[in-house]
Structure formats: C-alpha cells, structure tokens
C-alpha cells in the first residue's frame, strides 16, 4: 500500500554497531538485528524507502546491499573492518557520522523525512543528522546501561560511564523515544528523566509465517532428536547477561533428583558467544563438564530463522533465564511455535510471557527454583498442553505489521512535535 500524505517517504535507519545482514545469535547480532530487518521490510511494504546505515566489518562488503524491495543496507567505512569491540566503537562515531552526512549530501535537499536510530551509539549519530537535516529523530534504546548495571550476572562487567552519559544525551536529543514495553517506558522516565510526552510504547513483533506450530515428531525427526526426548532448549547469544548457565545448573539439580530422566534428556544450546562471553568462549562447555551433564548438552551454532523455528517446535520447553530483557524476542518466537516458555521474571519477559497461561515466570535465578519450574512443565503432560495452547494465543498479540503501523504513527507524531518546536522558536 502507498504511504498516506504526511507519512515518512524516505527513512534513514541507523544501526551502527551491528548489521541487519548479520546472523542473529552470535557476536553483537541478536534481537535488535531481527527488529531492524522486520521493521524495515514492513515499512517498505507501506511505501517507505528505507536506508539502513551500518558500519562495514569486511572489505568484501558492497557499499550498498539490497535487503528487500525498498530497503537498502549502506555500509559505512569507519575504523578497521575487524577487531573493534562494541566498547571501542565510540572512537569511530565522528567518522561514521561524517560519512552518513556525506551520503545524504549527494541527494537532493530534503531526501530523508526522519531518522530512526537503534542503540545509543546510533543515537549519537542520529542526533547529529537530525540537526543537520532538519528532520525528527526517533530513537529505540533496545538495552539501557543503567538497567543492565542494576541486574548484573555474577562475574559480568558493568557498562562503562561513557555509555551512561551517551544514553542520557540521546534521550535528551530524541524527538520521540520508542519503548518496547510499559516497563521500559517507566525506566526511561525514572532512570533517564525522559519527558513522558515523548515516550511511545510499541511492542516488537514476531514473524508468524516463520514461527508457527509444527508437529513435534516431524521437527524432531528433521533434527535427529528422539521422538520421546525431553528437550529443554536455550536460544540466544552465549553471554552472562543471557544466563544459559542458570539452565545448566538447573538441569544438574533436575538430574540429581530424577536420575532416570538422563536417558531421555537433551539440552540444546543454540547460539554463539557474544559480549563478555567472548572472553571465555568455552566456559559454558566447561561448566557442563564440571556439572556432570556434558552428555545431555548439545551446542548448536547460530541457525537461520526457519531452522530456529524447527528447534522451537521440537523443544519440550524453551528456557529464557536472562538477567534482563528489554523485550524477549526468543520467548515470543517459541510461544508462536506452540512451545511453553520458562523465563526469568525480569524486564520485557513479564509482558511477553503470561505466567501460568503461556509459560512460567521464575523470580530470581536460583537453580533449585528453576529445576522445579522446568520439571513442572516437562514432566506434567496436562500442564504442558495447557501452556502450549496459551503460548500460541499469546504470540498472536505480537505482529510486525502492527509494529510497523504503530511506528509510522510515531514518525508522524515526531514530525509534528518538531514542527511545533520550530514554530515556537
């Protein structure tokens, strides 16, 4: 459908530190990558031309790569292609911003109608582009340093003060801030002093064409899993924040209580090391050995969305033990496949998972409590069937089409706010 009068026609989307072309589940690629790709595609289907600016991480990257009809990924050379960590990227902000501005300058005046930045690094660039182009800045935090530092995993490193300051600056500069949940909106207002009138809640979605109920026997046969296995799955980046170790420790408790379960138990860990997990990439495998459960744990490298949906469908349950999640895309995807979720009662997970209806929420990260929750779902057919039905129903509340429609409304409001500000001055 075409964009209505007043809508954004051309959008600059900035995703500096991770490319939408990267495979989610490793490095810095995760739910945000999925968000950028799916939102951009849906916006393009509504008549918006989207350019996604990201930092080039390989000399083989073409300057412009088509992602979908109406969506282009623009690779910006800023710093060495490889070897830079996310914490070193602030040193490349000036170069990246200069090249973004140069790209726009080659177009007719007024080429972009709005900027949508993702994560604070992108927000810094977006704020500069906003002022230079005279268009509104819409910003999505995705994660926040103050929230992460309040809920650090044991042994994890706190986010640096430079990020906290940078986030505060972006919150001040943005015309509208997009929060994934009501809780995130409250955190922006309470922790970052965001103007409540400039915070909009828009839930991310899930691709219900990819993530949908599939026969468990068929899924397990395709993956080489026994048809009668008890499959307790983790999916995501392997790092302390995501807490896959909590699942492993709970599994050890579970097997201690019920040794007979071992013959049928499979614990797939689907994903790759990321963040501070890169410092000790083999730590989780070593923990499995230390706990005496290496025989039931199966490490699976990051997979495509279609393959991930197959793993979800094959699982008895999906565990999401994170210390913090701004939304919890894995939980929504799993539920869309009809698989109950056992999740930590933190952040966006309390919105995504309906406790006792689509899954179970576990307060804290105590392995004993987690083992009890896992056992309740895995070993009680009636409970699992009830939660599976509720999981499918719950996932229907989240669609990327709804996300795109609401985001277009945010863009219109941001343009209106900016016009009001200019008129007032």
Binding-site positions: 17, 23-24, 28-33, 86, 119, 143, 163, 237, 242, 303, 312, 315, 325, 333, 339
3-state secondary structure string across 242-277: HCHHHHHHHHHHHHHHCHHHHHHEEEEEECCECHHH
Residue 355 β-bridge partners: 359
d(CA 191, CA 168): 9
What is the distance of C-alpha 343 from the center of its chain? 15
**DSSP-derived secondary structure for 153-211:** PTTPPPPPHHHHHHHHHHHHH-SEEEESSHHHHHHHHHHH---GGGEEE----B-TTTS
d(CA 159, CA 182): 23
Contacts of 307 (CB under 8 A, 6+ apart): none
Q: Which residues are annotated as a binding site for Mg(2+)?
A: 312, 315, 339
Q: Which residues are annotated as a binding site for 1D-myo-inositol 3-phosphate?
A: 17, 28-33, 86, 119, 143, 163
Count of other CB atoms within 10 angstroms of residue 210: 14
Backbone angles phi, psi at 10, to 5 degrees: -130, 130
Q: Which residues are annotated as a binding site for UDP-N-acetyl-alpha-D-glucosamine?
A: 23-24, 31, 237, 242, 303, 325, 333
Indicate the helix (H) or strand (E) that contains 141.
Answer: none
What crossing angle do the helices spanning 244-257 and 367-378 adopt, rounded to 10°? Answer: 70
């Amino acid at each position: 459908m075409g964009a209505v009068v007043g809508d954004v026609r051309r959008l600059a989307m900035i995703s500096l530190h991770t490319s939408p072309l990267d495979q989610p589940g490793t490095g810095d690629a995760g739910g945000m990558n999925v968000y950028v790709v799916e939102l951009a595609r849906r916006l393009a289907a509504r008549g918006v031309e989207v350019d996604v600016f990201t930092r080039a991480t390989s000399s083989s990257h073409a300057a412009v790569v088509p992602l979908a009809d109406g969506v282009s990924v623009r690779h910006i050379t800023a710093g060495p292609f490889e070897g830079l960590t996310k914490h070193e990227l602030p040193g490349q902000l000036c170069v990246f911003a200069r090249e973004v501005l140069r790209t726009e300058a080659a177009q007719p005046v007024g080429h972009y109608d709005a900027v949508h930045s993702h994560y604070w690094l992108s927000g810094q660039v977006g704020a500069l582009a906003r002022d230079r182009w005279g268009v509104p800045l819409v910003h999505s935090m995705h994660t926040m340093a103050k929230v992460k530092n309040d809920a650090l995993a044991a042994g994890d490193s706190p986010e640096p003060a430079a990020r906290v300051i940078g986030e505060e600056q972006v919150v001040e500069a943005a015309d509208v801030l997009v929060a994934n949940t009501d809780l995130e909106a409250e955190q922006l207002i309470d922790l970052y002093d965001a103007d409540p009138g400039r915070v909009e809640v828009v839930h991310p979605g899930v691709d219900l064409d990819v993530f949908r109920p599939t026969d468990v026997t068929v899924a397990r046969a395709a993956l080489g899993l026994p048809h009668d296995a008890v499959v307790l799955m983790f999916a995501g980046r392997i790092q302390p924040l995501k807490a896959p170790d909590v699942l492993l420790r709970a599994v050890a408790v579970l097997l201690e209580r019920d040794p007979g379960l071992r013959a049928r138990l499979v614990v797939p860990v689907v994903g790759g090391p990321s963040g501070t997990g890169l410092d000790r990439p083999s730590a989780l495998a070593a923990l499995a050995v230390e706990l005496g459960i290496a025989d039931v744990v199966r490490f699976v490298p990051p997979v495509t969305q279609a393959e991930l949906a197959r793993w979800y469908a094959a699982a008895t349950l999906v565990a999401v033990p994170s210390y913090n999640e701004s939304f919890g895309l894995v939980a929504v995807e799993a539920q869309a496949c009809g698989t109950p979720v056992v999740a930590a009662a933190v952040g966006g997970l309390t919105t995504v998972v309906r406790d006792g209806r689509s899954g179970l929420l576990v307060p804290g990260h105590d392995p004993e409590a987690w083992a009890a929750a896992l056992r309740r779902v895995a070993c009680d057919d009636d409970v699992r069937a009830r939660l599976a039905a509720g999981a499918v129903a719950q996932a229907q509340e989240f669609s990327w089409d709804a996300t795109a429609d609401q985001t277009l409304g945010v863009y219109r409001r941001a343009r209106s706010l900016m016009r009001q500000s200019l008129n007032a001055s």
